[in-house]
Amino acid sequence: MRVTIFGGHGKVALLLAPMLVEAGHEVTSVVRNPDHVADVEATGTTALVSSVEDADTAALTGLLSGQDAVVWSAGAGGGDPERTDAVDRDAAIRSMDAAEAAGVQRYVMVSFSGASADHLVPEDDPFRRYQDAKIAADEHLRDTDLAWTVLGPGALTTDRSDGRVNPEASSRNGDQAPRELVAQVATAVLADDRAARRTLVFGAGDVPIDTWLDSLG
């Protein structure tokens, strides 16, 4: 597959990119800062400098022309509510619309387990703005005709991963997910039709990723 990763210099993306390359995919990683090109290309991918925050749908459609799949792993990083809306919600939604317009078939969203109206934090909690932005983006993706998968890992850690998940995880039970595990899951689901049009909530656990995907039927 020809795969574009948005948020190419992020911690998950830098782990994901070499996994996708090793799996035989042709990967383009989109970065905002030209200073990050060398880091990205060291993973074996092609770096493309573009600001998803500033690019309109037409520009993103051109960027995605000829691609087979998108992995959204971009984020504003918190701290600035307006930028959170601009990147985590608005830019993400534009990328989905652009993917449809460009004829992309597969779209994998790196979200988080708490991106659900059932698990909202209080409105005065600073985290709520991010949560609302991710919920809006995820819901828009589910309404598209793309073969989408929403990944909902638990709290991210820097631990190593043995490629095993807890498929019974939820945002309420304290599950954690190493970033390496998120990258492993993203790699596995990208080319697996059983994961299409599903929201997969997970944390670190005892079930091999392949066994988990087998259980999806």
Task: Note the pLDDT of residue 54.
Answer: 96
Task: Note the pLDDT of residue 78.
Answer: 75
The C-alpha atoms of residue 8 and residue 29 are separated, in whole angstroms, by 5
DSSP letter (8 states) at residue 83: H
Task: Note the pLDDT of residue 175.
Answer: 87
Q: Which of 92, 89, 84, 127 is nearest to 108 (CA)?
A: 92
Task: Note the pLDDT of residue 3.
Answer: 98
Task: Note the pLDDT of residue 180.
Answer: 98
Task: Note the pLDDT of residue 171.
Answer: 74
The C-alpha atoms of residue 57 and residue 52 are separated, in whole angstroms, by 10
Task: Note the pLDDT of residue 77.
Answer: 81
Q: Which of 70, 8, 84, 75 is nearest to 41 (CA)?
A: 8
- DSSP E strands: which ranges in the chain? 2-6, 26-31, 46-49, 69-72, 106-110, 147-153, 155-157, 164-166, 176-178, 198-204, 207-208
Task: Note the pLDDT of residue 30.
Answer: 98
Task: Note the pLDDT of residue 155.
Answer: 92
Q: Strand 147-153 relative to strand 106-110: parallel, antiparallel, unpaired?
A: parallel
Residue 180 contacts by C-beta under 8 Å, 6 or more apart in sequence?
15, 159, 160, 161
Task: Note the pLDDT of residue 79.
Answer: 75
* Fold for the domain defined by 2-214: Rossmann fold (3.40.50)
Give backbone dihedrals phi and psi of 116, rounded to 5 degrees, phi first.
Answer: -150, 140
pLDDT block averages, 10 residues each, the chain of length 217: 98 98 98 97 97 97 98 89 96 98 98 91 91 97 98 96 93 85 98 95 96 91
Task: Note the pLDDT of residue 119.
Answer: 85
**pTM of the entire predicted model:** 0.96
